[in-house]
Structure 1
Amino acid sequence: MTKQFASVWTKQPRQPKASGLRREQIIAAAVEILDAEGLESLSMRKLGAKLGAGATSLYWYVANKDELLELVLDEFWGMVQIPEPEQASWRELLTTFAYSLRATIRAHPWMSSLVGQLPSVGPNSLRLSDRLRRAFVEAGFRRVDIYLASATVLCYVLGQVIPEIAWAKAYSADEIDADGVLRVMDELAGDYPELLADYRATTSTDPEVGRALAFDFGLLCVMDGLQARLRDMSESG
């Protein structure tokens, strides 16, 4: 049987009860818990305790935890910076968006577990999507290419940052023995001396620098690819 689409955004927000809690307070407190302890630690009981209210009182505002997480996810999209399309070229706008999205995910890594699992149809998400749409229209993209191009940039950023988050979750910087990694590489990849030489020559001693360089390189390739696509479209009429 087809599952009916449902979202917290299709419901009228309820007015605060005598407790005086407002939806904005609930979202802000949930974000604080998520930032401090991660997605696994968030519960309605813990959120209620942080707000000085019982968990049952929160259900006046959200029917379940998924609805709460929808609100939190839209709060995340509101943190991502993107200029108005009239204020920047499409490449400048997308570069600003990509770097802001990367920084915001790194600051709030719980987002990586929510994107794609919950609908993003809140006001912040729609506002962001509309700015991206208008930027691609201004650039010259047409019809479905507008949305495919937008998704390409979004997926690039997610593809770069989510492995960073997984790595950071599994290991702290102090736990990584760089010299030990090199010794293991020497042992396991001894049959590939050129590969080993490249690894030693190109691997940054500062992982953050290496990640930033990789992100810059990939983003430039994405931008150049989209520009080439535009050029091919204009030449073909």
Structure 2
Amino acid sequence: MPRDTLTQEQIVRTAVELLDDEGLEGLNMRSLGKRLGAAATAVYWHVKNKDDLVLLAADRVWQEIELPALDADDWRETATVTADRLHAMLVRHPWLVQAIGSHLLYGTGKARYDDHLLGVFETAGFTPQEADRAAGALVTYVLGNALGTSAVASLTRKLRRAGEDAEGMLSQTLAKAAEVAEPFPRLRERLGTSAAAEYGEAPDGSYAAGLRALLDGLRPGGADTAPGTARTAGDAAR
């Protein structure tokens, strides 16, 4: 595809697909150009470098999140939906958790989400400072829960690139973990059940239970909003 027929939209969309398949470590201009049917140099007419491309791709996936209407009467349900949709997006695009840890990300998609999340709490009567802290706690919680999916995806790609049997290696790791846990009764019991069948997986329902507990502890003017207890939503996602 000649450079004059490429658009930034095509490039960013294809970059997201490549990132979903290969992660941050698999994104380079040569691979991207191959997917686009264009020379790698043609991409540089539309994006400055790889970091710029990651920034654009990240903002595109933030735009995928459908934001619920604000509701002062049932703000916890609104916050739950807002968190769940962020979590689902991060699971669809596990490379974004990696990017948050290694790139300075910003853009209209992320700003749109952050602003709406602050609105969820301010509509419920939180002060701006309380809303900052509540939003920061929620985003940090969601990011932490998406980390396992991101780590497994990255590890699986790494093993496959090395020519290893990824599934077999993970099974061996679980077996070794069970041996290490043998002297510890609580771990031994859990590693012997189907709940431990997946590497890095939390027990079923952990995410929902934790989110419910977090939101139950938040209220306008509550003790949870003491100074320094949480970061702002923007800080948490950087």
2:146 aligns to what? 161
Residues 70-124 of structure 1: CA deviation (Å, up to 9, x unaligned)? 0001012112232121598321222112222222212211111111543333121
Mapped to 1, the partners of 2:58 and 2:32 lie a distance apart of 16
Instruction: Report the more deviating stretch, 51-60 or 21-30.
Output: 51-60
C-alpha distance 49-95 of structure 1, shift in aligned 2 (>3 A): same
Matched, 1:58 2:43: yes
Is the counterpart of residue 98 in structure 1 residue 83 in structure 2? yes
Across the aligned residues of Structure 1 and Structure 2, the Cα RMSD in angstroms comes to: 3.0
**Contact 1:44/1:65 (8 A) holds in 2:** yes
- Matched letter for residue 185 of structure 1: A
Give 1:46-195 correspondences, 5 Å limit. Answer: 46-86=31-71, 89-170=74-155, 175-176=170-171, 181-186=177-182, 189=183, 192-193=184-185, 195=186
Instruction: Indicate conservation of the 8 Å contact 2:58/2:105, yes or no.
Output: yes
Amino acid at match of 2:85: S
Task: List runs of 5+ in structure 2 lacking aligned partners.
Answer: 157-165, 225-238
1:62–1:209 CA distance, 2 compared to 1 (3 A): closer
Output the CA distance in 2 between the equivalents of 1:125 and 1:202.
Answer: 39
Task: Report the CA distance shift for 1:142/1:131 in structure 2 as closer, same or farther (over 3 A).
Answer: same
Q: Do residues 204 (structure 1) and 195 (structure 2) align? A: yes
2:28 pairs with 1:43? yes
Find the aligned partners of 1:48 and 1:168 in 2 and give their Cα distance. 23
Secondary structure of 1:63's counterpart equals: coil
Distance 1:196 1:68 in 2: 43
Q: Which runs of 4+ in 1 moved over 6 A?
A: 200-203
Q: Tell me, in whole angstroms, the C-alpha distance in 1 between the residues paired with 2:10 and 2:187.
A: 53
Q: Can you give the 5+ residue segments of structure 1 that lack an aligned partner in the other structure?
A: 1-16
Greater RCO (Cα-Cα under 8 Å, separation 6 or more): 2
Q: CA deviation at 1:164?
A: 3.6
- Verify the 8 A CA contact 2:190 2:196 in the aligned structure 1: no
**DSSP-derived class of the 2:208 partner:** helix
CA distance in 1, matches of 2:196, 2:56: 40
Which of 213, 219, 236 is the aligned partner of 1:221?
A: 213
| Residues paired across the two proteins, number | 211
How far apart, CA to CA, are the structure 2 residues paired with 1:119 and 1:78? Answer: 17
**Deviation sequence 1:166-217 (CA, Å, 0-9, x none):** 245436565326666444422xx2xx54x35763698725549844411112
Distance 1:129 1:138, change over 3 A: same
